[in-house]
Amino acid sequence: GDSVTQMEGPVTLSEEAFLTINCTYTATGYPSLFWYVQYPGEGLQLLLKATKADDKGSNKGFEATYRKETTSFHLEKGSVQVSDSAVYFCALSERNRDDKIIFGKGTRLHILP
């Protein structure tokens, strides 16, 4: 069945460092891909999305490109801030199949000042 695999955390970086959180997926069709973020004490919220191959989703300085050839959707940010400390979840859904959403296990990010 469909699945999402994320790099394990926690990931600890200094402020202004470059961030990459790896995400790979397994799907039989053509899924939509998402990154959600969960800030401390807050609900889960959508960070960015991509719906087809080679699409790039971007928001708040974060980017991720839908790579069908490598079945990946890695999250990147050029210069992280302390306020980016949160848990990040990669997810996929296949609307033309059973239309369910599948989340990865999440990656906790700590940014040190």
Partner 1 sequence: DAGVTQSPTHLIKTRGQQVTLRCSPKSGHDTVSWYQQALGQGPQFIFQYYEEEERQRGNFPDRFSGHQFPNYSSELNVNALLLGDSALYLCASSLTSGWDEQFFGPGTRLTVL
Q: By the criterion CB under 8 A, which residues form the site for partner 1? A: 4, 32, 34, 41-46, 49, 89, 91, 93, 98-106
Report the distance separating Cα 94 and Cα 113, nearest Å.
Answer: 39
Report the nearest approach of partner 1 to the CB of residue 90 (Å). 8
Residue 62 and residue 47 in contact, taking contact as beta carbons nearer than 8 Å: yes
Q: Which is nearer to partner 1, 18 or 100 (CB)?
A: 100
DSSP 41: T
Could you identify the residue written with the tokens 């959508």? 46
CB of 46 or CB of 112, closer to partner 1: 46
Q: What is the Cα–Cα distance from 31 to 53, expressed in whole angstroms?
A: 9
- Shortest reach from residue 40's CB to partner 1, in Å: 11
Taking the least distance from each CB to partner 1, the nearer of 51 and 71 is 51
